[in-house]
């Protein structure tokens, strides 16, 4: 049990003014594994005050010194990687064999990438008779989700600190424990008091207080599109900068000349990573009608090979969902898919055999999905794959772009030039061609209702910078 009864403000662990707490539950067993405080709006204000007080000195700290702090943060994350992997695996349900590299390892890599970038980034640039000076935007409220809890913390906090901003972090109350470990690492790394602050609590109480606080200069939010709209509405009152990383309904476009077996297998694995709790998951598989039934059979076989079980088991490939509410939501989508006439190829809304406890959902594949169906339009956020048939390349592009989202996607073809051509026509922030690997230096973010702004690399750093022109 990890029991936290204090929040981190001004370089110290302090008692919250709120009296409640959140119980953190193991997604595989439904047993409690920790508690964190339920902070109040007043606690959010205390965190902002500490960040305001620390901003002037931190913003003037030389970039090389800030890079040193980020390097120490990276070292701390690496030193506690096994602990973080086990914690997040239990909170979220990602199998332990994957959590080490993805949930705990990748944040360390990202933190290190910003330390390296900071050592070479030019904050001043002459343009004609002007000197362009990039300065930190100010105090940042970082509000993070539960599906990749540490990764999203680092994706916001690391570039904010690199830019010279100070931060108040509100993690999700569903999976907050890794954020508290991160605060311990930040304290040990020697961050000056008030540069990083952690206030746990729910969205309506702590999150909205941070968004509305006039002393907060920027909000960086990751979560649902519905919640992102609310953040934008509240932030508009003080005209603060807002970056949003929201939902997705990404298309995996398999062209008629692709290696079908490889494309389908990779698509299934991508869709079901983290039990489908990934905003950029390729949840729509678009296949030429001439090869459709072959693809359906391959997807069924790939999904049925995934071993469902407790996240702590080394043999598990598909763990539970992160909460009871999320499990129930996904099951309702599966039922709706059947009701709207989609063909249930494998899986379904019933619990997996032998798993009476834990928030499990069977890996589910739907065929005969029409583009207008609910399961083809709305983000399910669970292990549910939709296969859609298309007539030709133009039809595939039309279907791929036919949702309100635009976060990620994929294209498969034996012809690299053709794949690139189709990728350029997808209205989405990232496209993987023939299984292209994740790049922590490339910008990540979405078009349309998948949000605005970018994370990672130079573009992620610049979200936290203002540009000043000094004329001479």
Residue indicated by tokens 């040193």: 68
Instruction: Point out the residues that are catalytic.
Output: 245, 279
What number is the average pLDDT over the span 373-392? 98
Instruction: Report pLDDT for 263.
Output: 98
Residues 307, 196 within the same domain? no
Q: How confident is the model over 221-250, as pLDDT tens digits?
A: 999 999 999 999 999 999 999 999 999 999
Residue 198 pLDDT: 98
Do 120 and 236 belong together in one domain? yes
Q: Is 90 exceeded by the pLDDT of residue 19?
A: no
Helices 81-92 and 149-163 cross at an angle (nearest 10°) of 130
Is 309 contained in some domain? yes
What CA dihedral angle connects 209, 211, 213 and 214, to 10 degrees? -170
| N residues, the chain | 472
The SS3 of residue 24 is strand
pLDDT the model gives residue 50: 98
Domain that holds residue 41: 2-246+449-471
Q: Residue 401 in contact with residue 250, Cβ under 8 Å?
A: no
Alpha-carbon distance 96 to 262, whole Å? 25
CATH of the domain at 401: 3.40.309.10
Q: Say if residue 98 is in the same domain as residue 179.
A: yes
* CATH code of the domain containing 163: 3.40.605.10
- Residues 238, 261 within the same domain: no
Give which of 154, 157, 123, 121 is closest to 139, Cα–Cα.
157
Mean pLDDT, residues 321-337 taken together? 97
Is 90 exceeded by the pLDDT of residue 357? yes
Residues 237, 196 within the same domain:
yes
* Structure tokens given for 146: 């539960």
Confidence of residue 321 (pLDDT cuts 50, 70, 90): very high
User: Could you tell me if 405 and 456 lie in one domain?
Assistant: no
Confirm whether 444 is domain-assigned. no
Q: What is the pLDDT of residue 227?
A: 95
pTM score, two decimals? 0.96
Indicate if 255 and 237 belong to the same structural domain. no
Here the tokens at position 329 are 């939501």
What distance in Å separates the CA atoms of residue 388 and residue 409, rounded to the nearest whole number? 15
Domain match, 405 and 281 both: yes
In a domain, 381, yes or no: yes
Separation CA 464–CA 186 (nearest Å) = 19
Q: Are residues 21 and 164 in the same domain?
A: yes
What is the number of domains present in the chain? 2
Q: Are residues 176 and 221 in the same domain?
A: yes
Residue 117 lies in a domain: yes
pLDDT in tens, 391-404: 999 999 999 999 99
Residues 18 and 137 placed together within one structural domain of the fold: yes
Please tell me whether residues 463 and 399 are part of one structural domain. Answer: no
- Kindly report, residue by residue over 195-229, the tens digit of the pLDDT: 999 999 999 999 999 999 999 999 999 999 999 99
Residue 426 has pLDDT above 90, yes or no: yes
């Amino acid at each position: 049990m990890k029991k936290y009864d204090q929040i981190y403000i001004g370089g110290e662990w302090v008692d919250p003014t709120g009296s409640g707490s959140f119980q953190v539950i193991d997604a595989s067993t439904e047993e409690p594994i920790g508690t964190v405080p339920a902070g109040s709006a007043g606690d959010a204000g205390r965190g902002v005050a500490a960040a305001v007080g620390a901003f002037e000195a931190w913003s003037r700290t030389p970039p090389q010194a800030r890079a040193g702090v980020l390097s120490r943060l990276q070292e701390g994350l690496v030193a506690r990687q096994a602990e973080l992997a086990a914690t997040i695996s239990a909170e979220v349900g990602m199998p332990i064999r994957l959590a080490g590299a993805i949930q705990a390892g990748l944040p360390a890599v990202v933190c290190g990438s910003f330390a390296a970038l900071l050592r070479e980034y030019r904050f001043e640039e002459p343009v004609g008779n002007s000197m362009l000076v990039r300065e930190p935007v100010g105090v940042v409220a970082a509000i993070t989700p539960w599906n990749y809890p540490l990764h999203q913390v680092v994706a916001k906090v690391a570039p904010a600190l690199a830019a010279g901003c100070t931060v108040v972090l509100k993690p999700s109350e569903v999976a907050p424990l890794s954020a508290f470990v991160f605060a311990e690492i930040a304290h040990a790394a020697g961050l000056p008091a008030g540069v990083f602050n952690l206030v746990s609590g729910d969205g309506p109480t702590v999150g909205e207080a941070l968004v509305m606080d006039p002393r907060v200069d920027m909000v960086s939010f990751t979560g649902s599109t519905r919640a992102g709209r609310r953040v934008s509405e509240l932030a508009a009152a003080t005209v603060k900068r807002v970056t949003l990383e929201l939902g997705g309904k990404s298309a995996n476009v398999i062209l008629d000349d692709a290696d079908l077996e490889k494309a389908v297998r990779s698509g299934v694995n991508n869709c079901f990573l983290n039990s489908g709790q990934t905003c950029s998951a390729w949840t729509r598989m678009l296949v030429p009608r001439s090869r459709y039934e072959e693809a359906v059979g391959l997807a069924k076989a790939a999904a049925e090979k995934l071993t469902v079980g407790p996240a702590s088991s080394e043999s598990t490939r598909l763990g539970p969902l992160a909460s009871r509410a999320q499990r129930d939501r996904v099951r309702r989508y599966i039922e709706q898919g059947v009701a709207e006439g989609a063909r249930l190829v494998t899986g379904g809304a019933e619990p997996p055999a032998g798993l009476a406890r834990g928030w499990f959902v069977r890996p589910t594949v739907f065929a005969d999905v029409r583009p207008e169906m609910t399961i083809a339009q709305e983000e399910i956020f669970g292990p549910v794959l939709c296969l859609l048939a298309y007539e030709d390349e133009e039809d595939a592009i039309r279907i791929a772009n036919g949702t309100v989202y635009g976060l990620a996607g994929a294209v498969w073809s034996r012809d690299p030039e053709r794949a690139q051509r189709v990728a350029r026509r997808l209205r989405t922030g990232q496209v993987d061609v023939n299984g292209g690997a994740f790049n922590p230096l490339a910008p990540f973010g979405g078009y349309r209702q998948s949000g605005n702004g970018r994370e990672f690399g130079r573009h992620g750093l610049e979200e936290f910078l203002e540009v000043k022109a000094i004329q001479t």
